[in-house]
Amino acid sequence: MDEHENEIELMDFLYILWKRKWLIIILTSFCVITAGMTSLLLPKKWEVDSIIVPSKFLIQTEGGQYEEVVVVDPKQVAGQISEATYNSKIANELNIEINKFPKLTAANLPDTNLVRVSIKEKNIEKAKLILHSLFNHLKIQLDKKVEIEIKGIDSQIKSNEIEKARIEEEIKANKNQINIVKLRKKEIKNEMSDIKQRTKKLEEEQRSSLKKENRSESESLALLLYSNEIQQSLMNYNTLNELLSTKRIEEENINIEVENKQEKIKQLENDIITLSEKKGRIDYTQLVKEPTSSIRPVSPKKKLIVLITGILSLLVFIMLAFFLEYLEKHRVKD
C-alpha cells in the first residue's frame, strides 16, 4: 500500500512539473540569459601575484651547527598582509582612497619560506604598483632585524681582529725576548769558555810549580794563589752554568708562550672566517617573483555565474510551480 501511495505521489510531482514546464523553462531561461548578459557587462579583473622571501640569517644550535632561519615566520607575514596591516601605508603612498583599496591575499607556500601575495584588479599596472609598494614596506620592516644582526657580526669580527693584532704584538715582543735570551746565552757560553781556558792555563802553571822541589817563598805564595784562583774560576764557571740553564728554561717558556699565542691567533682567524661566512649567508628580503598578471581575466567567471544562476533559478521556479499548484487546488476546493 505504501509503495502504491509513493508511486502516486511521484506521478503527481511529475504531472505538476509537466504541467508547469513552460513556466519553469521560460523563467529559468530568462534568468540564465540575464545572468549571462550581466556577466558580459561586469568589468574584467586580472589576478596579479608576486612571491616574497623574508630576510634570513644563521643561528647556532646546541650541537654547534648553524641553521638558517627567517627573521619573521612567513605565516605571520602572510597573516599581516591578509589582515590589511599595510593597506593604509600603501594607499597614502599611491594616493588611493582606502575604501576603494583592493583586497590583498597572502599565503605561505607549503614547506617553504616563500610568501605568495595576490591581488585581483581591473587595472594591472595599479595592481603591480601596489605589490611593489607592499614589498618595499615589508623590506624596510624585516631588514631592520638583519641590519642589527650584521652590526653584531661586524662588531665581533672587529673585536677578534683587535685581539689578534694585540697578540701579534705580544708575539713580536716575545721573539725580541728570545733574541735577547739567545744573545745572553751566547755571552755566558763565551764567558764559560774563557774561564775554562784560563782555568786550564792556571792548572798547567800550578802543575809546573809543583814539579819544582826547592821552591822559593814567592813561588810557594804563587802556588797558593793559583789554587785560590782556580777554585774561584770553577765557582764562577758553575754559577754561569746555572745561569745558562736558567736562560734555557726561560727561552723554552717563552717559546711555549709564543706557540700558545699562535694557536690563539689561529682560533681567532677561524672565528673571523666563520663570522664572515655567517655574514655572507645573511639574505635581505627578496622579491623572488616580480608582480605578474594572469594570462586571462579571473573574473567575472561567466560560465560559473550562468551555471549557478541556472541551478538556483530551476530550483526556485520548480518550488514556484508546486506553490501555484497548491494555490490552484485550494481555490477549487473553496
Q: Which residues contact 329 (CB under 8 A, 6 or more apart)?
A: none
Note the pLDDT of residue 332. 61
Note the pLDDT of residue 112. 87
pLDDT of 219 over the 50 cut:
yes
Note whether 301 and 46 are within 8 A (CB): no
Note the pLDDT of residue 206. 64
pLDDT of 1 over the 60 cut:
no
Note the pLDDT of residue 175. 92
For 18-29, write each residue's pLDDT tens digit. 877 888 888 888
**Residue 247: Cβ within 10 Å count:** 20
pLDDT of 325 over the 60 cut:
yes
Residue 198: alpha-carbon gap to chain centroid: 76
65 or 113: which leads in pLDDT:
113
Q: How far is 20 from 25, CA to CA, in rounded Å?
A: 9
For 53-64, write each residue's pLDDT tens digit. 988 876 666 666
Average pLDDT over every residue of 36-48: 79
Cell numbers for 77: 607575514
Note whether 135 and 309 are within 8 A (CB): no
Note whether 62 and 80 are within 8 A (CB): no
324 or 245: which leads in pLDDT:
245
205 or 242: which leads in pLDDT:
242
Residue 142: alpha-carbon gap to chain centroid: 12
Average pLDDT over every residue of 160-184: 93
Average pLDDT over every residue of 309-318: 87
Domain ranges of the chain: 2-42+300-324, 46-149+284-293, 157-280
Express as a percent the part of the chain with pLDDT over 90: 36
pLDDT of 267 over the 70 cut:
yes
As its CATH architecture, domain 46-149+284-293 has: 2-Layer Sandwich (3.30)
Count of helices and strands (H, E) across the chain? 7, 6
For 273-303, write each residue's pLDDT tens digit. 988 888 888 888 889 899 999 888 777 777 8
pLDDT of 8 over the 50 cut:
no
* C-alpha distances in Å from residue 96, one per residue of 90, 120, 209, 237: 8, 15, 123, 100
Confidence bin at 208 (pLDDT 50/70/90): low
pLDDT of 270 over the 60 cut:
yes
pLDDT of 165 over the 90 cut:
yes
Note the pLDDT of residue 107. 93
